[in-house]
Amino acid sequence: MGRFDYDLIVIGGGAAGLVSAKLARGLGKRVALVERGRLGGECTLYGCVPSKTLISAARTAALIRNAPKHGLDIEGSRGIKTDNVMTRVRSVVEEVYRGHTPEAIERLGITLLFGEPAFKDNHHIQIGDKTWSSKNFLIATGSSSFIPKIRGIDSAPFFTNETIFGIERLPSSMIIIGGGPVGSEIASAFNSLGVGIDLVHKHVRILNKEDPELVDILSSKMREEGVRLRTSCKPVAIRREGGGIALEMEDGTNSATLRAEAVLIAAGRRPNIEGLGLENAGVQYTPRGIRTDLRLRTSAPNIYACGDVVGPYLFSHMAEYQATVAVRNAFLPFQKTADYENAAWCTFTDPELARAGLTEEEARDRYGERVRVYRQAYGGTDRGKTDAADVGMSKFICYRGRLVGAHMLGAHAGELIHEAQLAKSLGIPFHRLYEVIHIYPTFTDVVKYPAKLCYIDRLKDNPFLKVLQKFL
């Protein structure tokens, strides 16, 4: 046993914490993982896994309702019963959780410590009545739902993403406060499953950080399917009313009251930093999270942090990326900095909205008018026609022939974006994707056709070909 009990103590057993602990253990380090609840974290228990299972059920329901678009008639149907949807959601969560059980983690040689940790100094933490020491620490405590200040919120029942998947049956109606990724996904899914939805959002558009052109298409689709989008509205008061909830809201000039059986608050996230005793360890933080440099090192040189507690992107895949950077810097001689230029994500509405890199507006602000934009509507592809999946568009933003942004709204957008993400990350000129043989008929035409337009532009801009054309 060395000077310390461990080489690394990881605080938090979610995506970032599990990746960090496993990687450090793979490097031969003595590792302990501290968790106050169940292993798996937000993504497994309350986020990615349950929400995507719910969304899968919603898409199946939508496909059944849209059977006539495919030439099918369903005879003798009494409608779609959703009684078992949430049971199915929880069963999938448990199935995924089996890969993160304490027994599975301990078999890797990682010590598990359960309880509420607090730093005594930058090398010691206390859990209950025991103190543990480590050469290095990694904080990966994640985030929790942010509850906005609304009059009456303390006495009115509401759901968050941490509680909504525990319900036994779907409500008949729901008010969702917040039109970010969580609110928009659940609004889309619940609406497809027959829940009346009012989505209240303070900005002009839902998903206000995404490409406005594609968000407008998505918003129109959601409205057509029955979601009531209350944008530019601020909730001011909430109360119980009968067997449901009443929400008062304002849009700057007018006020209105919405009523529903239930309310979901999806108004953002807050970092989990309370009770950690960060001051004792010399770790600086703000209300937005723990401060780190690009090596994911905090103001205490032996303490690293990653995931939602750091940001700036609150996604599990970004947490995993940060975890590999942090562990590498803690134990290997060659330091690596986190590079967020190639961050990518997807909002799993119906249809999906995926993004990699800059929006058109951001690109023009950075590079000026030399930016070129290439688009392709899903309805203009043969596969979009065969699958009756004609809603959506791909949009590629290039500067000097290379991708600086890619955006997709449509079927399988979260999968299709990876071809553009690969080209962008590896610095492959966008036109080169047209030279790749794409299988026909597939949705990859929403990448191939814009790449073809870029290829044509490249030919037009070639000075040798310009001269040659004069003699042809």
The closest of 239, 326, 247 to 290, measured between CA atoms, is 326
268 in a labelled binding site:
yes
Give the list of residues 6+ apart from residue 256 with CB closer than 8 angstroms, or none.
248, 249
Structure tokens, 270:
């807050």
On whether 179 is known to bind a ligand per the annotation, the reply is yes
**Which residues are CB-neighbours of 157 under 8 A, at least 6 positions away?**
240, 245, 263
* Cross-strand pairs, 114: 35
Nearest one of 380, 378, 374 to 399, comparing CA atoms:
374
Burial of 388: CB neighbours in 10 Å, binned 0-12, 13-18, 19+ = middle
Strand partners for 398: 372, 403
Instruction: Check whether 183 is labelled as a binding-site residue.
Output: yes
The secondary structure of 307-327 as a DSSP string is GGGT-SS--HHHHHHHHHHHH
Half-sphere exposure of 438 toward its Cβ, with a 13 Å CA cutoff?
Answer: 19
**Is 299 part of any known ligand binding site?**
no
CB 15 within 8 A of CB 38: no
Kindly give the interhelix angle for 85-97 and 48-65, rounded to the nearest 10 degrees: 140
305 burial level (CB within 10 Å; 0-12, 13-18, 19+): buried
The amino acid at residue 76 is G
CA–CA gap between residue 233 and residue 248 (Å, rounded): 10
Cα gap 144→453, rounded to integer Å: 44
282 and 122 Cβ atoms separated by less than 8 Å? yes
Is 188 annotated to bind a ligand? Reply is: no
Nearest-angstrom CA–CA distance, 78 and 105: 47
Residue 178 annotated as part of some ligand binding site = yes
Q: Which residues contact 348 (CB under 8 A, 6 or more apart)?
A: 51, 52, 55, 185, 414
| Residue 40 vs residues 14, 62, 96: alpha-carbon distances, Å | 5, 30, 9
Q: What whole-number distance in Å separates Cα of residue 315 and Cα of residue 331?
A: 25
185 is in an annotated binding site: yes
Contacts 24+ apart (CB under 8 A), 239-248: 239/152, 239/155, 239/156, 240/155, 240/156, 240/157, 244/173, 245/156, 245/157, 245/158, 245/175, 247/175, 247/177, 247/200
Does the annotation list 120 as a binding residue?
Answer: no
Q: Is 301 annotated as a binding residue?
A: no
Which parts are annotated binding residues for FAD?
52, 141-143, 308
Which parts are annotated binding residues for NAD(+)?
178-185, 268
Which parts are annotated binding residues?
52, 141-143, 178-185, 268, 308
